[in-house]
Amino acid sequence: MTSDFATPAVTDPVPTEAPVLWYRDPISCLQSTFASVLARAGMNPLVALGAGWEFLYIPNDVRSEEFYYPCRHEGDLGRSLFPHHDVSSSWWCPADPDDPLRELREAMAERRLVIAAVDNFFLPFRPAFGDVHAAHLLVVHGLDERRGLVHVSDAMPPAFQGPIPLDDFLNSWGSANPQDRQDAFFSDSEISRRCLSVSVGSLRGGGADPGPERLAGWLRANLERFEDPGTVAGLGGLAGLDGFLRESTFRARAGEVRALQELYPFGWGMQAQAALHGELLRDRGAAWRSPALAGAGRAVESVAHAWTPLRITAAHGLDDPAAAADDLRRHAGVLRWRHTEAVESVQRALDEL
């Protein structure tokens, strides 16, 4: 079927059921949008997002996007974010430039949620509206072409769910997201009408409570990856973390702005992952009356907190990377030590499970 973009072959408006808004302060739109989709599929977002914990840095891979994440499985954010669950995802763009809404229309007709990349500059509900270009993700859960509306959901503050003008969505979705001096971290990355389709298979303990035995299996697998990351495209495990931190400090001392520029988006994914893994362990530790597991969770959360000064020092150091190198080295040392403590704590917690 072919259709004209100007006069698309519209279907009746699809009744929309807004997805769950799920948010934690250390996460980005990447985790919040996946959480909405997984919750719709019957998964507990904290259990699913908090099951995995690893370190992976892929050189020359970091992009200026809030939702950047180093993928162990190239191109598959779902499989990389959820190593212990049956989740996968794939990026796609509209096949027909004359009818860019065709795939979205089909997805909505089948009541499938779609994660769309957007530029905040064109979204009326985002603080950056009309001001700052920045790559972001939101969930599309309805398309009403007769009224010229797209129903979207965005858990990141200020949380928003509801219809926005189709033209605003199309401008945002198709934005070139040009370089913006107000945002050195999430601009200068073309949006290109990208979308993520997420596939969820069996729940595999993704419900409210995975149970001690299943969680123990996840923890063992995570610890093994810290010890031996296997075949990965970049720097993995604790040895990879050492190499990444050493390299980042070295590049900063050499005055390389790019080294600091990529620490902010890259570190966000690592920080969010540690925060959610830690919260899951602490939560289950309290529920199962396992002080060692709860304590291990808090130790992993300390890893998340140690990412803060590294990311913030880098962000504030763009004008003079060399001047920031000493502070980066010190914060890197703390982050490394927090990993050591947390890995040890998780190891001890396994004895209680």
Interface positions with another protein (CB under 8 A): 25-26, 127, 131, 157-158, 182-183, 271, 275, 302, 304-305, 308-309, 311-313, 315-316, 327, 330-331
- Give me the least distance between CB of 84 and another protein, in Å please: 25
Residue number, 193 or 282, with CB nearest to another protein: 282
| Smallest distance from another protein to CB 240, Å | 23
Beta partners for 118? 136
Helix, strand or coil for residue 152?
A: strand
CA 255 to chain CA centroid, Å, is 29
CB atoms within 10 A of CB 163: 16
State in Å, rounded, how far the first CA of the chain is from the last one: 56
Q: Is 76 exposed, middle or buried (0-12, 13-18, 19+ CB in 10 A)?
A: middle
* Beta carbon nearer to another protein, 158 or 230: 158
- 170 vs 315, beta carbon nearer another protein: 315
Q: Which is nearer to another protein, 26 or 236 (CB)?
A: 26
Minimum distance, C-beta of residue 316 to another protein, in the bound complex (Å): 5
Burial status of residue 48 (CB atoms within 10 A of its CB: 0-12, 13-18, 19 or more): buried
Q: Which is nearer to another protein, 128 or 232 (CB)?
A: 128
Least Å distance between CB 263 and another protein? 12
Report in angstroms how near the CB of residue 245 gets to another protein at its nearest.
17
Give the Cβ contact number of residue 1 at 10 Å. 6
Q: Tell me the closest approach of the beta carbon of residue 91 to another protein, in angstroms.
A: 27
Of the pair 145, 327, the CB lying nearest another protein is at: 327
- Least distance from C-beta 251 to another protein, angstroms? 19
Calculate the alpha carbon distances from 171 to 8, 119, 130, 132, 304 in Å: 17, 8, 12, 14, 35
Q: In this complex, which beta carbon is closest to another protein, that of residue 5 or of residue 125?
A: 125
Angle, CA of 108, 93 and 264, to the nearest 5°: 105
- 26/100 with CB nearer another protein: 26
Residue placing its CB nearer to another protein in the complex, 110 or 319? 319
What backbone phi and psi angles, to 5 degrees, belong to 80?
A: -75, -40
Q: Half-sphere exposure of residue 11, counting CA atoms within 13 Å on the CB side?
A: 14
Backbone angles phi and psi of 305, in degrees to 5: -70, -30
Question: Using CA atoms, how far apart are residues 284 and 262, in angstroms rounded to an integer?
Answer: 34
Q: Least distance from C-beta 148 to another protein, angstroms?
A: 25
Counting other chains too, the contacts that 72-78 makes at CB distance below 8 Å and 24 or more residues apart are: 72/232, 72/236, 74/233, 77/30, 77/34, 77/196, 78/34, 78/196, 78/198, 78/199
Beta strands in the chain (DSSP E): 56-57, 87-92, 114-119, 135-144, 149-154, 160-165, 195-200, 235-236
- Residues with Cβ within 8 Å of 124's Cβ and at least 6 positions away in sequence, in order, are 164, 165, 168
**Residue 53 beta carbon to another protein: minimum distance, rounded to whole angstroms:** 17
